[in-house]
Structure 1
């Protein structure tokens, strides 16, 4: 029996760029920091994940051909986008976890780059002609000098495939506990809303239009489980192009942000 991987895709807490989004194109906004509310969201999420990690030893396998109990690692492997808001969220969350695991930065997990539209007023760039072009081919559309959803999906999915393959092949990152065949492997990925939407569309093999129909709030968790088909090869030359080649994916939860909701967030529904 090969280890099952539990993947948590985590959006950063509320950031300064999020507050400008109604009027401006946020995009990558590399130096946008968490707001006070965003820091509070990250702290609440850290507390919840700490409880989850401890309680996970009681979890039961799904879609397995065995009923054997498989405890997960209590020392998860952690990856994060290089952007400030994701790094801050990761640091706050993991400080609440047992042993405070290291954060491994992955550049390809950064938010979509909007090129010449970065921080531009929406009313200035989203002209009727632009909106018409966007509606005609949303998966390929991109701002001048920026990325399309297809571009983001390609780089983010490639990065996810590589890091998952490495974790399954080697047990975990260098600072994590060794894997045994009877263990689940827990991986936390701190990234951005649009990146998570692109990853979900790819894993679920959904229609391209689905990317824009997935809601991922600040500090929300998307959980997926991966049951590998077989032992994962370590040769970089045999990397698969699709996440589906890794095994069977199971979607456990989407946009789980209840632990971080405050009255303002609840009133927005």
Structure 2
């Protein structure tokens, strides 16, 4: 039987120093020196990545929208690609569920069709969008679509798309995160009545979602969208056109939540919004400083009808001239959060 003996300090040092390198803990191993200038792109193996003096990659790959954009903001001499001129939010045309809510007890929500009226609404919406874009007077304009995977939104896209020839469509993407709110069980009418008592944002349908749940997934979509805008994802290869228009075909609540998230509206402000009509649209248009404002396209009467308050309208006017990344230090919504500022009214 082997006898185990405690190790003294000298024997411990001897044991550690004699341990093979591959068995040493990571913090004690001598790692090989990494030379980043020898890194090559996987695939062709022909071009080495160029490393700047501060250690960030300079991308020179052709055929990708990320061309010439540094992986760190502010480290590239190449200017950012122009932002799309508009983000156009479109609610699907009239569906069978809009006409008869009992349809939801017989047909799964994602499979509900448009009515004939809804198809006509979608096509008319497409021509309205085209007319709006053509008024810009630009010859190189294009549209890019995001669409919810539900049948009624896909049908809306197909009929809306009749207004555009192939050369005008730079692409489309089916996006599950902008799908309809999940209403859960079939007792929708009763549950919607309870939602009015509880609050439209926080009420969660049994076995379904609340608007707060939709907010979380819309937040993820918004971050993806902003990243795609920043890298010029919607620009055709070799082009830097400011005349790209994004069109998001989705559902009433999802689009209102999208606006809430984009403009940082409060829960109370969200609950004061009215639903968009079927086949209708809301336009976020790029302002003079690069930010998107509803006031660039819509007049005050239209925005009030949608549910915007005085504070929200003032903020939209600020969005028209503010620069990207600029903070609204005179934000009129501040006063509504602090009672001791109420007498000062809105800051303009």
Q: What does residue 222 of structure 1 align with?
A: 282
Instruction: Give unmatched runs, 5+ long, in structure 1.
Output: 58-70, 230-246, 257-269
Correspondent of 2:249 among 166, 187, 190: 190
Does structure 1 retain, via aligned residues, the 8 Å contact 2:179–2:254?
Answer: yes
Give the stretch that moved more between structures: 28-37 or 7-16. Answer: 28-37
C-alpha distance in 2 between matches for 1:228 and 1:157: 26
Q: What does residue 161 of structure 1 align with?
A: 223
Correspondent of 1:4 among 51, 67, 83: 83
C-alpha distance in 1 between matches for 2:262 and 2:150: 24
Q: CA deviation at 1:74?
A: 1.8
Does structure 2 retain, via aligned residues, the 8 Å contact 1:12–1:85?
Answer: yes
Correspondent of 1:253 among 270, 287, 298: 298
C-alpha distance in 2 between matches for 1:113 and 1:220: 22
Correspondent of 1:172 among 231, 234, 243: 234
C-alpha distance in 1 between matches for 2:207 and 2:127: 40
Q: CA deviation at 1:40?
A: 0.7
Q: CA deviation at 1:13?
A: 0.4
* Match status 1:199 vs 2:261: no
Q: Report Cα offsets for 1:39-82 as digits up to 9, x if no partner.
A: 1111111222222232223xxxxxxxxxxxxx585221111000
Q: Secondary structure at the residue paired with 1:56?
A: coil
Q: Report Cα offsets for 1:127-174 as digits up to 9, x if no partner.
A: 7xx45xx6345422201221111111221232133124213313417x
Q: What does residue 92 of structure 1 align with?
A: 159
C-alpha distance in 2 between matches for 1:153 and 1:73: 35
Q: CA deviation at 1:27?
A: 11
Matches within 5 A, 1:104-123: 104-116=173-185, 119-120=186-187, 122-123=189-190
C-alpha distance in 1 between matches for 2:278 and 2:107: 15
Cα–Cα, structure 1 residues 178 and 96, in superposed 2: closer, same or farther, change >3 Å? farther
C-alpha distance in 1 between matches for 2:279 and 2:224: 24
* Match status 1:15 vs 2:105: no
Cα–Cα, structure 1 residues 11 and 26, in superposed 2: closer, same or farther, change >3 Å? farther
C-alpha distance in 2 between matches for 1:23 and 1:31: 11
* Match status 1:75 vs 2:155: no
Q: Secondary structure at the residue paired with 1:95?
A: helix
Equivalenced residue count is 216
Q: CA deviation at 1:37?
A: 0.2
**TM-score normalised over the length of structure 1:** 0.69
Q: What does residue 239 of structure 1 align with?
A: none
Cα–Cα, structure 1 residues 126 and 159, in superposed 2: closer, same or farther, change >3 Å? closer
Does structure 1 retain, via aligned residues, the 8 Å contact 2:83–2:232?
Answer: no
C-alpha distance in 2 between matches for 1:91 and 1:126: 30
- Give the number of the structure whose alpha-carbon radius of gyration is greater: 2
C-alpha distance in 2 between matches for 1:104 and 1:92: 16
